[in-house]
Amino acid sequence: MALSGPISWFINLVGGGVEEAPPGPAARTPRSPSEIRRLSRAASRGDATAQRELGEAYLSGLGVPENTAEAARWLNLSAAQGENTARLLLAMMHLRGQGHGASEELFGAAKGEPDPAEAARLALAAAEAGDVAAMSLLAWLAATGQGMEADPALAARWYGKAAEMGQPQAKLGLGLMRLHATDGIEDKALACRLIAEASEAGLATAQYVHGTLYEAAVPPLPFDEAKAFELYRRAADAGLRPACARLGLALLKGWGTPANPVEGERWLRRAALAGDAEAAAMVGDMQMSPADGSPANPIEALNWYRIAAESGHAVAMRVLGLMYHRGTGTAPSPQDAMHWLDRAAERGDAEAAASLIRIAAGLGPDSAEARGAADRLEALAERGDAQSAFNYAVCLRNGVGRAADPAAALPWMRRVAEAGRADGQFWYGRLLLETGGDATEAWQSISDAAEQGHEEARQALAQRA
């Protein structure tokens, strides 16, 4: 089972993150009216624990209507008295832009804006007071540079303290740091052990990461698809989105388990509906090319590609744009086609940029659409994409989205030729001849293209002879 990408991104799943950091012993059952009255009286008298519990109730809507402003008010009062769980909950709220509540003037930040610096201050206070979950959150903030300068050494220190106290999120975080040497200390054996301990403790993210370690055969672990599959299943059963996607792919391909396309698609759909763009794109592909040989379902495919595109998947944007252009699964819509192809090109998809300029040219070589498409090609060419450089040179030569200027096309086509592409070599030679450039250089470039099998180049040499 080959990994779909590098595992360096796992640092973003470190245990102190918003989704993984345990927010403390928040109430799990609704509070009765009498309990709410009791908490309100005690909180009004200044009882820090009651203030924290009342804040939790408002935060979760347990016994009172959910109200983040009231939650922030009571948690701020509790945290000001040194209540660590209140500090931690409030830190998490600040990361979501909820921590200032109705007291924005007092705290000097606009209501609704995340305040990672305040989150870091609260996490530090709680961590220094011995709160293990706050230690993990503080480590994550230090590792990712939120609310403070990125400080891998500080992150490793706080993760280490929390890990020694048995906190699974901290073990995962420290394991990832040791795996990727983000603080200069690499120890893959220790990393695997820490991640395994977090996995065995039931932390879904750790189970998923643990599975990828078996899949990638990270020393000292062996390559073991079956173990990876079982770990993905545990994490997927807990609802972890990337695990649902990976489990679906494993079932689809038969990696570590007998192939089961129906079950695989079910997990991919679950991941897609939870916001996994890659899974949504895969379901779209499956609808366009069903594995069982049944007819394609372009209408449903269009919906899945749209879900993937709206989640930022560049290839899905391109496919969606082409479907709107061709009227596949929907009525043709040039406006929607241009919109999605433009968004894909903006994200660096050279094929989308090429399709965009072709469609735009049909609306008029000097149209606003053609000029915008040429802008996208130029930007991609500037980034070093050879295909976009070729297409942009053609635009300059033929006057599509730009004033016709073969001389201006020359340096762009030279880039393509220097990249070793036969079509670039041929057209660079053609442009040199068209603009009165060095004929020797021109024919040498055409000859280079012919040696690579370029048919037009061969014909040009034959005619010259």
CA angle 405, 411, 415 (to 5 degrees): 135
pLDDT tens by residue, 330-370: 999 999 999 999 999 999 999 999 999 999 999 899 999 99
Burial class (CB in 10 A: 0-12, 13-18, 19+), 157: middle
pLDDT number for residue 28: 59
pLDDT tens by residue, 40-67: 999 999 999 999 999 999 999 989 999 9
> Cis ω on the peptide bond leading into residue 152 (within 30° of 0)?
no
Whole-number Å distance between alpha carbons of 140 and 38: 37
Does residue 138 have a pLDDT over 90? yes
Whole-number Å distance between alpha carbons of 226 and 203: 19
**Torsion sign over Cα 118, 123, 126, 129:** negative
Across the chain, mean pLDDT equals 90
Confidence of residue 183 (pLDDT cuts 50, 70, 90): confident
How large is the angle between the packed helices 261-273 and 277-288, nearest 10 degrees? 140
CB distance 178 to 187 below 8 Å:
yes
- What single letter denotes the amino acid at residue 154? L
What is the four-CA torsion angle of 215, 218, 221, 222, rounded to 10 degrees? 50
Whole-number Å distance between alpha carbons of 247 and 264: 7
Q: Percent of the chain beyond pLDDT 90? A: 86
CB distance 26 to 59 below 8 Å:
yes
Does residue 165 have a pLDDT over 50? yes
Q: Which CATH number fits domain 1-165: 3.40.50.2300, 2.60.40.1290, 3.40.980.10, 1.25.40.10?
A: 1.25.40.10
Distances in whole angstroms, Cα of residue 203 to Cα of each of 12, 139, 226: 15, 18, 19
Distances in whole angstroms, Cα of residue 217 to Cα of each of 177, 222, 422: 18, 5, 40
> Cis ω on the peptide bond leading into residue 6 (within 30° of 0)?
no
CB distance 417 to 409 below 8 Å:
no
Whole-number Å distance between alpha carbons of 382 and 370: 18
Whole-number Å distance between alpha carbons of 309 and 300: 14
pLDDT tens by residue, 74-125: 999 999 999 999 999 999 999 999 987 644 433 334 457 899 999 999 999 9
Does residue 4 have a pLDDT over 80? no
Whole-number Å distance between alpha carbons of 63 and 162: 33
Does residue 386 have a pLDDT over 60? yes
Whole-number Å distance between alpha carbons of 257 and 232: 12
Confidence of residue 397 (pLDDT cuts 50, 70, 90): very high
In the chain, CATH 1.25.40.10 sits at 1-165
pLDDT number for residue 186: 82
Does residue 152 have a pLDDT over 50? yes
Per-residue pLDDT, averaged over 424-447, amounts to 96
**Contacts of 157 by beta carbon, 8 Å cutoff, 6+ apart:** 139
- In three-state secondary structure terms, 456 is helix
DSSP state of 401: S
Name the residue among 23, 22, 4 with its Cα closest to residue 198.
22
CB distance 223 to 214 below 8 Å:
yes
**Contacts of 76 by beta carbon, 8 Å cutoff, 6+ apart:** 86, 90, 99, 101, 103
Q: How many CB atoms lie within 10 A of CB 457?
A: 25
CB distance 172 to 16 below 8 Å:
no
Query: Which of the residue ranges 180-184, 428-432, 435-439 would you say has the lowest mean pLDDT?
Result: 180-184
- What single letter denotes the amino acid at residue 226? A
Name the residue among 22, 6, 3, 15 with its Cα closest to residue 175.
15
Place of tokens 């089972």: 1
Confidence of residue 9 (pLDDT cuts 50, 70, 90): very low
Place of tokens 């009286």: 41
Q: Percent of the chain beyond pLDDT 70? A: 92
Confidence of residue 13 (pLDDT cuts 50, 70, 90): very low
CA angle 288, 294, 297 (to 5 degrees): 35
Confidence of residue 293 (pLDDT cuts 50, 70, 90): confident
DSSP state of 29: S
Distances in whole angstroms, Cα of residue 425 to Cα of each of 252, 353, 381, 410, 446: 43, 22, 17, 11, 6
Whole-number Å distance between alpha carbons of 161 and 171: 10
Query: Which of the residue ranges 16-30, 360-374, 418-432 would you say has the lowest mean pLDDT?
Result: 16-30
Buried b (16+ CB within 10 A) or exposed e, 435-452: eebeeeebbebbbbbbee
CB distance 110 to 135 below 8 Å:
no
